[in-house]
Structure 1
Amino acid sequence: MTDSTTLGLVGGLLQAVVIVAGAPLLVGLMRQVRARMEGRVGAGIRQPWRDLRKQFRKEPITPRGTSEVFRAAPVAMVAITLVVAAIAPFVTAASPLPGVADLFVVVALLATGTVAIALAGIDTGTAFGGMGASRETTILALVEPTALVAIFALSVRAGSTNLSAIVDSTLAEPSAVLSPAALLAAAALVLVIVAETGRLPVDNPATHLELTMVHEAMVLEYAGPDLALIELGSAMRSAVYLGLLANLFVPWGIATEAGVLALLVGVVAFVVKVGVLGAALAAAEVFLAKVRLFRVPELLAGSFLLALLAVTASYVLA
């Protein structure tokens, strides 16, 4: 077994553990930052873990008339996100499945998790579930092409759509981070993350108003352990998206060789970068208002245009 294979296996397992354990803390940090900036005390960074523990102890309840789609969606969402957490370059540049750690595979897996929850929302047969699923799939159809094109702009320099190769290329050529293509792609990906994680101004995770709900409308019928899995999966997706943003553009600190010290530095660097990005995103939300639903496609179309400009710049300025 080569050092790269060993690093990929150990790193993949470590990444999965860090994201599962740290994702709720990331949500708690973002809520705490927003609370402090709004003049509130806040519930504390560990509150999401307390909520998950309480939900896991409750009795599972399934609405009448739902099928296996409703029951399988939370597990599918967590499992798919866990796979991405293990194979993408977060703590280490190596991957346990190098052929799977590809741009198109990772984006497709994350989209599949969203589709699973949307199908569960439709399966309930409620007006809220169908409304939320319709809105979510509309956003998904606009966001996924942007994510593909934005990261593809980075792959032009690396000569590969493999995420680990893109990270290695940035490590080998640090000045590329400040290139027009990278900056345009980063701006597009920020808007993708805002939309995919249901943050302002696209969605408001703290509301249950009929006219503004997107993600919450699809999961209103969930309770107990199923709701806990939904919340954990959503938190993991936030950590994964922020981790991709951090390491595709600022990969310094990521482990490139097998060793306890290198992996420890990789974990610390990943936690710090994701924490800073999460805190910055939460702080920006304080100054933003939710845009009208019919204006969201315009915002996402703008992000797609930025991604196209990034690809053009990557070829013209190569």
Structure 2
Amino acid sequence: MTGLVPYAAVAGQTAVVVGVAPLLTGLMRQVRARLEGRAGAGVVQPWRDLRKLLHKEPISPAGTGPAFRLAPLLLAGTTAVIAALVPLASTDTPLSARADLIVVVALLALGTVSLALAGLDTGTAFGGMGASREMTIAALVEPTILLSVLALSIPAGSTSLPAIVAGRIHDPSRLASPSGLLAIVALAVVTLAEAGRLPVDNPSTHLELTMVHEAMVLEYAGPDLALVELGAQMRLTVLLGLLTTLAAPWGIATTASWAALALALVLLVAKVALLGAVLAAAEVFWAKVRLFRVPELLAGSFLLAVLAVTASYFLTGA
């Protein structure tokens, strides 16, 4: 039976990401509502919204092509593949050999580009504006993610994410190293940008001058909009899960054991929920950065990632 554990790990962490993603969004909204003195709609409200959208008729604007129709599937599909690849619950899975840093970042970029193309495909001013802003942010976010995890990969001697996580579990001194701390801070900043959270983007606004993600999806309706919303929620969950996996890898299963896998899945949900609640609480006190100041913020995180790589080379004697 132990031979089934690696396959169960892939299925389990993918199912957790898909199932928990709307609940995480609902939890973050509820935390914000409570801190702002409101009752809130409840943690399961995002699931209710998705169910309602699935029962509506899909509508495509006149003149749109395959880019508009395929973007929701690509966004949700690439995020599900990332959830299966990244060692969120176990470092011993059938996909461990393919869970390379470059592959994960490429899949993230594919989802981003597909949604930006869909925004351009509509031919609307809002869609083009949102796509332009999204690609400006992505041009700074993707290299920073690469460099941040690259700094963590140097001590492990591999760009494989399971190898990086396993090395950090077996050598806890890496968690408190200067290069590791710089890389985690840089990764945390770009996670906010990639997930469209404050202070880079406000997911709850529909003001024309501040929209980024919302501007690209204004023309979607029904099941297509449900896929877009679920994909964005899954992306937030995966990014927070990756951040907690690299910053606090305790509890991740490194052996083919049912008990270790069950504990790892429970801890994954707990860590992601805790980080999501902390992020939601912080967003109450954060203001959105002006659009022209966002490149400065992301350039700062890129500089931190460069310093992390440099420090990692010096510390490892590479």
Is the TM-score greater than 0.5?
Answer: yes
Match of 1:9 in 2: 7
Secondary structure of the structure 2 residue equivalent to 1:205: coil
Residue 207 of structure 1 aligns to which amino acid in structure 2?
T
| In structure 1, C-alpha distance between the alignment counterparts of 2:19 and 2:104, rounded to whole Å | 21
| Most deviating of 302-311 and 259-268 | 259-268
Q: Which of 134, 138, 141 in structure 2 is aligned with 1:136?
A: 134
Per-residue deviation, 1:291? 1.0
Contact 1:88-1:95 within 8 A present in 2 as well: no
Match of 1:118 in 2: 116
Match of 2:277 in 1: 279
Contact 1:63-1:124 within 8 A present in 2 as well: yes
Q: Which of 143, 151, 154 in structure 2 is aligned with 1:153?
A: 151
| In structure 2, C-alpha distance between the alignment counterparts of 1:248 and 1:95, rounded to whole Å | 17
Q: Does residue 213 in structure 1 map to residue 211 in structure 2?
A: yes
| In structure 2, C-alpha distance between the alignment counterparts of 1:313 and 1:278, rounded to whole Å | 30
Q: Which of 246, 250, 258 in structure 2 is aligned with 1:248?
A: 246
Residue 198 of structure 1 aligns to which amino acid in structure 2?
G
Residue 294 of structure 1 aligns to which amino acid in structure 2?
F
Secondary structure of the structure 1 residue equivalent to 2:285: coil
| In structure 1, C-alpha distance between the alignment counterparts of 2:94 and 2:229, rounded to whole Å | 27
| In structure 2, C-alpha distance between the alignment counterparts of 1:184 and 1:6, rounded to whole Å | 38
Match of 1:198 in 2: 196
Residue 83 of structure 1 aligns to which amino acid in structure 2?
V
| In structure 2, C-alpha distance between the alignment counterparts of 1:79 and 1:130, rounded to whole Å | 23
Secondary structure of the structure 2 residue equivalent to 1:206: coil
Q: Does residue 45 in structure 1 map to residue 49 in structure 2?
A: no
Contact 1:111-1:144 within 8 A present in 2 as well: yes
Q: Does residue 96 in structure 1 map to residue 100 in structure 2?
A: no
Secondary structure of the structure 2 residue equivalent to 1:64: coil
| In structure 1, C-alpha distance between the alignment counterparts of 2:93 and 2:77, rounded to whole Å | 17
Per-residue deviation, 1:6? 4.0
| In structure 2, C-alpha distance between the alignment counterparts of 1:99 and 1:257, rounded to whole Å | 16
Secondary structure of the structure 2 residue equivalent to 1:62: coil
> Which aligned runs of 4 or more in structure 1 are off by greater than 6 angstroms?
none
Q: Does residue 31 in structure 1 map to residue 29 in structure 2?
A: yes
Q: Percent sequence identity over matched residues?
A: 65
Match of 2:107 in 1: 109
Runs of 5+ in structure 2 lacking a partner? none
Residue 216 of structure 1 aligns to which amino acid in structure 2?
E
| In structure 1, C-alpha distance between the alignment counterparts of 2:188 and 2:36, rounded to whole Å | 23
Offset from partner CA, 1:273-295 (integer Å, 9 cap, x none):
11111111111111110111000
Root-mean-square deviation (Å): 1.2
| In structure 2, C-alpha distance between the alignment counterparts of 1:94 and 1:155, rounded to whole Å | 18
Contact 2:57-2:223 within 8 A present in 1 as well: yes
| In structure 1, C-alpha distance between the alignment counterparts of 2:146 and 2:25, rounded to whole Å | 26
Per-residue deviation, 1:312? 1.1
Q: Does residue 76 in structure 1 map to residue 74 in structure 2?
A: yes
Runs of 5+ in structure 1 lacking a partner? none
Contact 1:150-1:185 within 8 A present in 2 as well: yes
Residue 181 of structure 1 aligns to which amino acid in structure 2?
S
Contact 2:5-2:258 within 8 A present in 1 as well: no
| In structure 2, C-alpha distance between the alignment counterparts of 1:34 and 1:174, rounded to whole Å | 34
Match of 2:54 in 1: 56
| In structure 1, C-alpha distance between the alignment counterparts of 2:181 and 2:257, rounded to whole Å | 33
Pairs within 5 Å for 1:164-183? 164-183=162-181
Residue 316 of structure 1 aligns to which amino acid in structure 2?
F
Contact 2:28-2:276 within 8 A present in 1 as well: yes
| In structure 2, C-alpha distance between the alignment counterparts of 1:130 and 1:94, rounded to whole Å | 43
Contact 2:90-2:253 within 8 A present in 1 as well: yes
Residue 108 of structure 1 aligns to which amino acid in structure 2?
A
| Most deviating of 126-135 and 33-42 | 33-42
Contact 1:254-1:266 within 8 A present in 2 as well: yes
Residue 182 of structure 1 aligns to which amino acid in structure 2?
G
Per-residue deviation, 1:121? 0.4
| In structure 2, C-alpha distance between the alignment counterparts of 1:109 and 1:62, rounded to whole Å | 25
Per-residue deviation, 1:7? 3.5
Q: Does residue 224 in structure 1 map to residue 219 in structure 2?
A: no
Contact 2:99-2:160 within 8 A present in 1 as well: yes
Residue-pair matches, total: 316
| In structure 2, C-alpha distance between the alignment counterparts of 1:259 and 1:153, rounded to whole Å | 30
Residue 155 of structure 2 aligns to which amino acid in structure 1?
R
Per-residue deviation, 1:85? 0.5
